[in-house]
Chains A and B, each alone.
Chain A
Amino acid sequence: GQSLEQPSEVTAVEGAIVQINCTYQTSGFYGLSWYQQHDGGAPTFLSYNALDGLEETGRFSSFLSRSDSYGYLLLQELQMKDSASYFCAVEVNRDDKIIFGKGTRLHILP
């Protein structure tokens, strides 16, 4: 089976940096993705890691450690529009099966 753990809520200040962690227990792990979802909207893709290390895309970075079954999403220079829910998701067995975590609600204070 698969299980993913991420904090239910995180609060940070505008302009700061925040890290959202994700640990997983998955047989046949292949890759880790991150998605953003604003209230009332659909999830949108942020990043994908299949190899260990850091991937950077603008203000967002994502890290994966396969040996620790752990990843994180790093958001820099936080803006109010970053207030949203963030989901980690694992790809299983490279057969296109994607399982999501329960999500982390990010609150940003001015």
Chain B
Amino acid sequence: NAGVTQTPKFQVLKTGQSMTLQCAQDMNHNSMYWYRQDPGMGLRLIYYSASEGTTDKGEVPNGYNVSRLNKREFSLRLESAAPSQTSVYFCASSDRRDGSYEQYFGPGTRLTVT
């Protein structure tokens, strides 16, 4: 049981390049999320998917696209990377159980855009 996995762990891009961050979970959770974390800013929600086939914008969706490929996988794409997208990106999944709502986070992807 690997939980939530993310690839890659580190990435350096040049301005204007594109890339896709991959996320997968093996807990059969319905909901999945992408957050970015910058110093002093906490975690900001980029996009989320409450179920397979649906995606919704979060707080900071501009410059990103997502795909909920199936129940297990949720990818985040940067079409034309900008230095402002330098950040740590966390994927999470969650489900409602026993009156609680717990998110499980992946280890993060550290992205630098030069």
Residues of A participating in the B interface, judged by any CB pair closer than 8 Å: 8, 31, 33, 35, 41-45, 48, 50, 87, 89, 91, 95-103
Contact = CB atoms under 8 A, between A and B. Distances in A.
25 contacts: A8-B40, A31-B101, A42-B105, A43-B43, A43-B90, A43-B103, A44-B105, A45-B102, A45-B103, A48-B100, A50-B99, A96-B94, A97-B48, A97-B50, A98-B33, A98-B48, A98-B101, A98-B103, A99-B58, A99-B59, A100-B35, A100-B44, A100-B45, A102-B42, A103-B42
B107 interface: yes
Contact of A33 (B44, B101, B108): B101
Contacts of B104: 45
Contacts, number: 61
A2 to B, nearest CB: 8
A95 B50 contact: yes
Given A96-B94, A100-B42, A43 B105 contact: yes
Contacts of B94: 96, 98
A25 to B, nearest CB: 14
Contacts of A87: 42-43
A35 B41 CA distance: 15
A102 B40 contact: yes
Nearest to A31: B101
A105 B44 CA distance: 17
Contacts of A96: 30-31, 48, 50, 94
